[in-house]
Amino acid sequence: MNRYSALMPDAALSSAGPAAIAPHSIAIVTDAWHPQTNGVVRTLSTTCAVLRGWGHQVTVISPKGYLSVPAPTYPEIRLALAAPGAVGRRLAQIQPDAVHIATEGPLGLAARRYCLRRKVPFTTAYHTQFPDYVARRTGLPASIFWPYIRWFHRPAQAIMVATETIRAQLREQGLTRLTHWSRGVDLACFSPAAAPPPEYAGLEGPILLYVGRIAVEKNLEAFLACPYPGTKVVVGDGPARAALEAKFPEARFLGKKTGTELAGCYAGADVFVFPSRTDTFGLVMIEALACGTPVAAFPVPGPLDIVTEAVGALSDDLARAIDAARFCDRAACAAYGASYTWEAATRQFLAGLVPLAERAPIGHEALAAC
């Protein structure tokens, strides 16, 4: 057992699953939270639910409760305007056993500043290809934004990453304190048995599906412009939806779907198409696979780490990837997708945390100094 396993229940370290657990207090600081709908929010909210189910006390410091403004070019994301010292005072009140900073935004910056000043060890996570996202929205090269990422994450005791490709990328940037944190699927919801949505009735096959945010960084136009026969279906919402609906009237935009409705969209499709070149993982890919639907994608980080020849196809020619994916065995896809569980992913998260048990708790003297 390594030093990061101190917060993990013994039962959770075994295949038997968690049993009775001594509760621990974990603070998660994130600029991405409800009502946003994206992979970061879904990952964090599900992880919190599993941790709480195991008996841990989890406090999420998010934009809720703070004044906020819309992010430039991304109004759905609210940037919290926390008063100086507010995040530090909250951490001091919580006195957590571990601090995890999930995002590089204003709240993450405030928590980072507090932890460094008070010599509180913390972990971070690299959820988003931040340099690529900002580059797509500003037209500036991604290299301009990497110094900020290096600066933000370097003091962390551990940086949680979802895939080996991203791990290698961060190593190239000089960030070496890396630990693995994968993702999971709600197998009670996502399965091949999910009923296709009524919107699929009468559609010309094959049905090619995209699920996710409709935004420039998702490269959705590469999918919609792909000259492959059948019907292209888009599930989700975002700032680029209106423009893409107008440009591609033959595609079917179904809006946001969740739960069993979303599972049915996956299960009723012939191929799930993932055109993004900027994701660190791609949670929707493993949800599609758990529903028995093969994946077609570009050979980039995320798909390179998830998609095998048995469950999908990768190619710089998206039409070629779609054509190859159609021949994958759907039972093999479902079995592979089911291997990703939130319980296993949460055990990895716990193993990556840095416990504060060997240092004095964040107490009232620190609170007074904030």
pLDDT tens track for 101-153? 999 999 999 999 999 999 999 999 999 888 887 887 788 998 999 999 999 99
Neighbouring C-alpha atoms within 13 Å toward the C-beta of 93? 8
**Structural domains of the chain in order of their starting residue, each with its CATH number:** 3-184+343-369 (3.40.50.2000), 198-340 (3.40.50.2000)
Please report the pLDDT score of residue 10 as a whole number: 37
Q: Is the dihedral of CA 238, 244, 245, 251 positive or negative?
A: negative
pLDDT of residue 35: 86
CA-based torsion, 311, 253, 215, 341: positive or negative: negative
Convert the pLDDT of each residue in 249-267 to its tens digit. Answer: 999 999 999 999 999 999 9
Position 23 scores a pLDDT of: 59
pLDDT at 86: 95
Main-chain phi, psi angles of 79, to 5 degrees: -100, 120
pLDDT at 327: 97
Instruction: Specify the pTM.
Output: 0.87
Q: Cα 225 vs. chain centroid, distance in angstroms?
A: 26
Instruction: List Cβ neighbours of 249 (8 Å cut-off, separation of 6 or more).
Output: none
Given this model, what pLDDT does residue 13 score? 38
pLDDT by residue for the chain (370 residues), tens only, comes to: 333 344 443 333 333 344 334 558 999 999 999 888 888 999 999 999 999 999 999 999 999 988 888 777 666 677 888 888 999 999 999 999 999 999 999 999 999 999 999 999 999 999 988 888 788 778 899 899 999 999 999 999 999 999 999 999 999 999 999 999 999 999 999 999 999 999 999 999 999 999 999 999 899 999 999 999 999 999 999 999 999 999 999 999 999 999 999 999 999 999 999 999 999 999 999 999 999 999 999 999 999 999 999 999 999 999 999 999 999 999 999 999 999 999 999 999 999 998 755 444 443 333 334 4
